[in-house]
């Protein structure tokens, strides 16, 4: 059963084989169709993030490569050339539908490092709040192996967890996950619904991708594991269809659907709750405590005092006036500056500090409440 009635945030991943011809040139008809569907979802009121491949393939084609380059310097050069063409075309197409797009290039360090993690999430949330459509790709022009996501299937899954998405749609050159290779077995049957990724399901995956891409069904199953454990549902479907994105979001029986866990603790929440070591504490009043438990961000007005020293981006404990531990969160301000704005209205922050990064001391998206 596909439960997609209440989704609000969708990540869509487009692979190289969907975006380009075999020679690496952009398939503008497919690209326009994808942009049109995303724009239509945005018109519905959904928040949409696009994770796109194609930079290296497009750059390789422009530079005269017949197949995907082998060395890292060559790949980086192709990415630098191709990324310009790719984002320019996306911007042009989205503008035709009166949509504003934004480019974000990521590496694993942007998620591993807590300050970069915080800044990255704030960037995404701000872009979504103001109605922009973020376009994400790995920073292939500068990235090295130890900080690579490795493939954009994994990147799209990490982004989906990163931004607390409801659904990830991976557009591929195949209709979904089959019980055997449909290119070799004409009787292969598509797997419509996967509740749990078992060894049997993993056995259905093959490893081959296109000459210009890096993906295959194995990487898509890995992405599904990341998504499902984070509570994000995922669909693999064929990007060649003119309406596959719309049909997938509408809950139609398209592609293979992987059910996200119903009540997961998000990776970020799990890290905040059990893996992070709070450096200090923020004590809040009863009004703020009630607001936090009703899924509100922490504002300076609700803070009574702080205990200990911390920097912007550090994890702190949130305590009630009676000493009870309410939760953990990532502070948007350091302890020195925060001590100057305890109890004040948000409109006074800039007047007191001379700057204001955020209204929230701890944004609800950077907090776990026990």
Q: Where are the domains of the chain?
A: 9-264, 268-369
Residue 362: strand, helix, or coil: strand
Using CA atoms, how far apart are residues 71 and 75, in angstroms rounded to an integer?
Answer: 6
Residue partners of 61: CB distance under 8 A and separation at least 6: 20, 23, 24, 25, 82
Candidate CATH numbers 3.40.50.300, 1.10.645.10, 2.30.130.10, 2.30.30.60; the one for domain 268-369: 2.30.130.10
Which one, of 102, 75, 74, lies nearest residue 87 by Cα?
102
Judge contact between 279 and 316, C-beta under 8 A. yes
Integer angstrom CA distances of residue 99 from 38, 39, 192, 353 = 10, 7, 33, 36
Residue from 88, 46, 93, 68 nearest 151 by CA:
68
Q: Residue 215's pLDDT is what? A: 44
pTM beyond 0.75: the answer is: no
CATH topology classification for 9-264: Carbamate kinase (3.40.1160)
Question: Residues near 89 by Cβ (< 8 Å), separated by ≥ 6?
Answer: 26, 28, 31
Q: Which two tokens stand for residue 70?
A: 């082998």
C-alpha span between 8 and 105 (Å, rounded): 23
Give residue for tokens 């936090």.
292
Q: What is the pLDDT of residue 240?
A: 85
Instruction: Decide: helix, strand or coil at residue 302.
Output: helix
Compute the distance between CA of residue 50 and CA of residue 105 in angstroms, rounded to an integer: 12
Query: Is 43:81 a contact under the CB 8 Å cutoff?
Result: no
Annotated binding site for substrate: 53, 140, 152
pLDDT in tens, the chain (370 residues): 787 888 999 999 998 888 888 877 889 999 999 999 999 999 999 999 999 988 888 888 888 888 778 888 888 898 899 899 999 999 999 999 999 999 999 887 777 676 787 788 899 999 999 999 999 998 877 776 544 566 788 889 889 988 889 999 999 888 889 888 777 788 888 899 998 888 888 888 754 444 434 347 888 898 898 888 788 999 999 988 889 999 999 999 999 999 987 766 665 675 676 556 788 999 999 999 999 999 999 999 999 999 999 999 889 999 999 999 999 999 999 999 999 999 999 999 999 999 998 999 999 988 988 8
Q: How far apart are CA 93 and CA 139, in angstroms?
A: 22
Half-sphere exposure of 67 (CA within 13 A, CB side): 6
Question: What is the model's pLDDT at position 94?
Answer: 97
Q: 172, 215 in Cβ contact below 8 A? A: yes
Q: Report the alpha-carbon distance of residue 202 to residue 185 in Å, rounded.
A: 18
User: From edge to edge, which strands make up the β-sheet containing 367-369?
Assistant: 303-307, 281-284, 315-319, 325-330, 367-369
Q: Contact 9/166 with Cβ under 8 angstroms?
A: yes
How far, in Å, CA of 331 to CA of 310, rounded? 9
- Distance in angstroms (rounded) separating the CA atoms of residues 13 and 16: 10
Q: Which residues are annotated as a binding site?
A: 13, 53, 140, 152, 172-173, 214-220
Residue in the structure block whose two tokens are 């438990």: 293
**Partners of 171 in the β-ladder:** 14, 237
Sole residue written with tokens 């009121």: 45
Q: What are phi and psi of 206, to 5 degrees?
A: -105, 175
> What's the token pair of residue 335?
């302890």
CA distance 321 to 302: 11
Length of the chain: 370
In contact, 297 and 357? CB cutoff 8 Å? no
């Amino acid at each position: 059963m596909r439960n997609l009635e209440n989704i609000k945030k969708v990540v869509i991943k487009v692979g190289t084989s969907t975006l380009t011809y075999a020679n690496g040139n952009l398939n503008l008809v497919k690209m326009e169709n994808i942009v049109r569907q995303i724009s239509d979802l945005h018109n519905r009121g959904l928040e949409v993030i696009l994770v796109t491949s194609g930079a290296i393939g497009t750059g390789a084609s422009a530079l005269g490569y017949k197949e995907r380059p082998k060395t890292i310097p060559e790949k980086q050069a192709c990415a630098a050339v191709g990324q310009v063409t790719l984002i320019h075309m996306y911007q042009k197409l989205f503008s035709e539908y009166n949509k504003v797009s934004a480019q974000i290039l990521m590496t694993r360090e942007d998620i591993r490092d807590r300050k970069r993690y915080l800044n990255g999430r704030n960037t995404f949330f701000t872009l979504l709040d103001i109605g922009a459509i973020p376009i994400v790709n790995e920073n292939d022009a500068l990235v090295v192996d130890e900080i690579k996501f490795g493939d954009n299937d994994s990147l799209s899954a990490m982004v989906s967890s990163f931004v607390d998405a409801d659904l990830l749609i991976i557009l591929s050159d195949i209709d979904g996950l089959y019980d055997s290779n449909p290119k070799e077995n004409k009787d292969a049957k598509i797997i419509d619904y996967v509740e749990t990724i078992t060894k049997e399901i993993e056995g259905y995956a093959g490893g081959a991708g296109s000459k210009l891409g890096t993906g295959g069904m194995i990487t898509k199953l890995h992405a599904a594991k990341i998504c499902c454990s984070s509570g994000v549902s995922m669909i693999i479907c064929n990007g060649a269809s003119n309406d596959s994105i719309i049909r997938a979001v509408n809950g139609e029986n398209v592609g293979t659907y992987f059910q996200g866990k119903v009540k997961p603790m998000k990776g970020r929440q799990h890290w905040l709750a059990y893996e992070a070591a709070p450096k200090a504490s923020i004590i809040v009043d009863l009004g703020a405590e009630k607001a936090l438990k009703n899924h509100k961000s922490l504002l300076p007005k609700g803070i009574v005092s702080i205990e200990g020293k911390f920097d912007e981006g550090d994890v702190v404990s949130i305590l009630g006036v009676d000493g009870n531990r309410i939760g953990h969160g990532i502070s948007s301000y350091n302890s020195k500056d925060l001590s100057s704005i305890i109890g004040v209205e948000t409109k006074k922050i800039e007047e007191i500090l001379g700057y204001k990064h955020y209204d929230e001391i701890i944004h609800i998206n950077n907090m776990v409440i026990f």
